[in-house]
Amino acid sequence: MITHVKRAFKYRFHPTDAQAAELSRTFGCVRKVYNMALQARTEAWTLRAERINYNATSAMLTAWKKTEELAYLGDVSSVPLQQALRHLQAAFTAFFGKRAEYPRFKSKKKSRRTAEYTTSAFRFCDGKLTLAKMSEPLDIVWSRPLPEGAQPSMVTVSQDPAGRWYVSLLVEDPNVKPLPTKDTAVGVDAGRNHLLTLSTGEKITNPRHERRDRTQLARAQRELSRKANGSTNREKARRKVARIHARIADRRRDHLHKLTTRLVRENQTIVIEDLTVRNLLKNGRLARAISDAAWSEFRSMLEYKAQWYGREVIAVDRWFPSSKLCSSCGRLQGTMPLHVRTWTCDCGVTHDRDRNAAKNLLAAGLAVSACGAGVRPQRSTPGGQSATKQETPRREP
């Protein structure tokens, strides 16, 4: 049986005033239900050592709708509310599996405005999408076509801080299939001055997206700080700041998509370093540059695209001395501060720090692949433990 990859296609759309009001109500109800269910589960376990699961919170939701205070929960589609409870259940499962932190309450100002609709809560016909509780289809900007004959199994509607509306359709994509096998492999060293350095010697320039708009962003943030809390002018200033951030993020994401797609298409094996970005961000002098480089997002894109197209990504242990090891003779050097960009080994070979690191990463990754050792590190959990470490999970309330 042939199974296709499920892939989300995201599009802008422009809601009518009625649709925007309905979706805003839905976002608020989703946040309310999630927070109430989280509070109920926390109190039940803390006060009574009682276990509350998805089924129990679903029954609570039915009871909440019958109360006068929360009767407005029945005015929106019930599917996004049930999906919020499922997400909460998944969050608790991840927490007790020590893969995530304890679930947190959703903030009205900071949490993502989103709602999920399953097949029972929308109608998709002839390229028109109509959500539950709405009489008119959404005005979607079809920037690219869906796969031929695709039928969405899930629809996610969201609004970003800049006020832009998006709809994401989850469909099976028959066009995603393994690429022809290649005999090429590449080591990739991430950096700040150059975004990536490949073992082939190629250096990919760091576009520094945030730096390009830093002056404009600082000016907009100063204007925002002068506005009175709760005023209309403050909301306008906040939107202006959000639009600048969105423009930076869009450019960065577009560049990373093109870069990761190229690496996956050209190489069968890609070796990277298992960087602890969370810890690196604690360095005040480097945090802004590291965030702008988006190393974590780069790795995420690389891994899921490699899985789609039949490629292999190997992450070398973060303690591997890739920069201080001579790729020619294998001799390990002493302390090497970040400002040292070139160095000469005792064997007489002069190395570019980044190119040398990329070559060493490639050699180490191929060695791991050849011997079949299961030492490819996974990202650390928020608690600082490796995801590969097997421990007995705690009891779930």
- CB 40 within 8 Å of CB 50: no
CA-CA distance, 199 to 363, in Å (whole number)?
10
Residue (of 160, 363, 129) closest to 242 by Cα position = 160
pLDDT at 371 (0 to 100): 66
Q: What's the DSSP call for residue 338? A: T
Within 13 Å and on the Cβ side, how many CA atoms surround 291? 13
pLDDT at 348 (0 to 100): 79
- CB 268 within 8 Å of CB 184: yes
CA-CA distance, 345 to 338, in Å (whole number)?
17
Q: Which domains does the chain have, with CATH numbers?
A: 5-173 (no CATH), 185-206+247-371 (3.30.420)
Q: Which helix (H) or strand (E) holds 351?
A: strand 350-352
Placement of tokens 């590291």 in the chain: 290
Q: Residue 271 corresponds to which tokens in the numbers above?
A: 């070796």
Residue (of 85, 93, 61, 91) closest to 74 by Cα position = 61
Placement of tokens 């945030």 in the chain: 210
DSSP string, 259-314: HHHHHHHH-SEEEEE---HHHHTT-TTTHHHHHHHTHHHHHHHHHHHHHHTT-EEE
Strands 194-198 and 203-205, bridge-based pairing: antiparallel
Residue (of 317, 384, 318) closest to 100 by Cα position = 384
3-state secondary structure of 105: coil
In 13-72, at which residue ranges do the beta strands (DSSP E only) sit?
Answer: none
Active site residues: 189, 273, 354
- Hey, what's the torsion of the CAs at 11, 14, 19, 25, to 10 degrees? 70
Amino acid at 153: S
CB atoms within 10 A of CB 29: 22
3-state secondary structure of 366: helix
3-state secondary structure of 90: helix
230 contacts: CB under 8 Å, gap ≥ 6:
none
Amino acid at 352: D
Mean per-residue pLDDT pooled into runs of 10, the chain (397 residues): 79 96 96 96 91 93 95 95 96 93 92 95 93 94 91 95 95 91 91 87 90 93 95 95 95 95 93 83 80 89 93 87 83 80 81 87 82 47 39 37
- CB 247 within 8 Å of CB 267: no
CA-CA distance, 98 to 131, in Å (whole number)?
36
CA-CA distance, 321 to 356, in Å (whole number)?
11
CA-CA distance, 31 to 73, in Å (whole number)?
11
- Hey, what's the torsion of the CAs at 289, 290, 295, 296, to 10 degrees? -130
Amino acid at 362: L
397 contacts: CB under 8 Å, gap ≥ 6:
41, 44, 45, 49, 50, 51, 52, 92
pTM attached to this predicted model: 0.83
373 contacts: CB under 8 Å, gap ≥ 6:
none
| Neighbour-count burial for 277-291, b at 16+ CB within 10 Å, e otherwise | beeeeeeeeeeebbe
3-state secondary structure of 349: coil
395 contacts: CB under 8 Å, gap ≥ 6:
96
